[in-house]
Copies of this chain bind each other. A is one copy, B any other.
């Protein structure tokens, strides 16, 4: 067995690399928000000169694209053994769950104007499952689009409706009124309350059921 010349043994602990940089960036965004992600602050976090990261990531825009990749990678690949309904459900659930794991970064998932490779891998797997089940590729693609739209849209709406998850209903109302102008009519506060005051997990799953059963019926 020959030594791989591309992976020399002399790596220092804490050496820079694209994955290490992206992970640090995501940690930063998770902790302090997207606006805290700065090439300079990121370098600080890695205890490295501000310019060193540029050897592994091609500037800030590429860094954000890289974060989108990282996010898509965290969405679990559906299990090909399961029936296709289960695969699609797991996929949608996982897409929404990501919003709770990374609320500050979630906007990057569909906000960079690209579907990075990990996204296409997961979509491709789901397409395959549906074709396996006998659906045409066009039909399969439509179904996937619907599910991604519903799951990601639902998650973004959640994040917009209640930025900070509130324990008590009172705390919730306080939080809602804080975002609205002081002179907001009472009926608007009531509307805001209606949008949040429910079991989000349950409601998400009900909608998912409706879409999946509707689609099954239309086949």
Contacts and interface: CB of A to CB of B under 8 A. Distances in A.
Number of copies: 2
Nearest to A118: B188
Given A115-B195, A153-B156, A207 B142 contact: yes
Interface in A130-145: 137-138, 140-142, 144-145
A112 interface: yes
Contacts of A4: none
B114 A203 contact: no
Interface string A71-86: 0000000000000000
Interface of A: 107, 110-117, 120-121, 123-124, 127, 137-138, 140-142, 144-146, 148-154, 156-157, 159-161, 163, 179-181, 184, 187-188, 190-192, 194-195, 197-198, 203, 206-207, 210-211, 213-215, 218
